Amino acid sequence: MSEQFRSILGVSIIIALIAVFVSLTAPNNDPDSKTYHGVWIDAFEEAAFFEGKTRDDFPSLLRGSPDGWLSFDPDQWPLEPSSSSTDNLGYFEVSFVGRKVVGEAGHLRQYPTEYFAEQIISIERICYNFIATQDEELDCIRP
């Protein structure tokens, strides 16, 4: 083999290995990844996700059980850092590409499923918190 041929072969192998690595590590290349939409509650020791729900389901969905815990890839965390640990807490309508893994998840492993958001499509705050009204209904503190 000539020296030039070995150099070309070596570079070709390196390029092929890089291409394989990139294709295997790309988050949207996961065959289990799909698009999810729902309501996410970000609160102290809570990241409840209600799959398929929208802002129109508030506040009644709070009386039900969440479908799972919502986690984010570190580079996909959707909220801006704030001066207070409670500034970003709230209720959000969110769409994302990700995966769903059945099994104990979340704080104290109390959720039946964990959703992993790999890419945020959209996120919109529904409200900051809920307060009880005089007739014991929940009212949303809107942004």
pLDDT of residue 83 exceeding 50, the answer is: no
- Alpha-carbon Rg for the chain, nearest whole angstrom, is 21
pLDDT higher than threshold 70 for residue 126: yes
Kindly state the helix (H) or strand (E) to which residue 136 belongs, with its residue range. Answer: none
Q: What is the pLDDT of residue 141?
A: 62
Using CB atoms within 10 A of its CB, is residue 17 exposed (0-12), middle (13-18) or buried (19+)? Answer: exposed
The pLDDT of residue 18 is above 70: no
Q: What is the pLDDT of residues 93-114, one digit of tens each?
A: 999 999 998 887 777 778 889 9
Query: What's the pLDDT at 27?
Result: 43
DSSP-derived pairing of the beta strands 90-105 and 111-127: antiparallel
For 26-56, the pLDDT digits (tens) are 444 456 799 999 999 887 778 899 999 998 8
pLDDT at 131: 56
DSSP H or E run through 75 = none
More confident position, 68 or 109: 68
- 6-23 mean pLDDT: 63
* Per-residue pLDDT at 93: 93
Q: Any idea where the domains of the chain sit in the sequence? A: 1-26, 31-141
- Is the CB of residue 84 less than 8 Å from the CB of residue 130? no
Provide the pLDDT for residue 94.
94
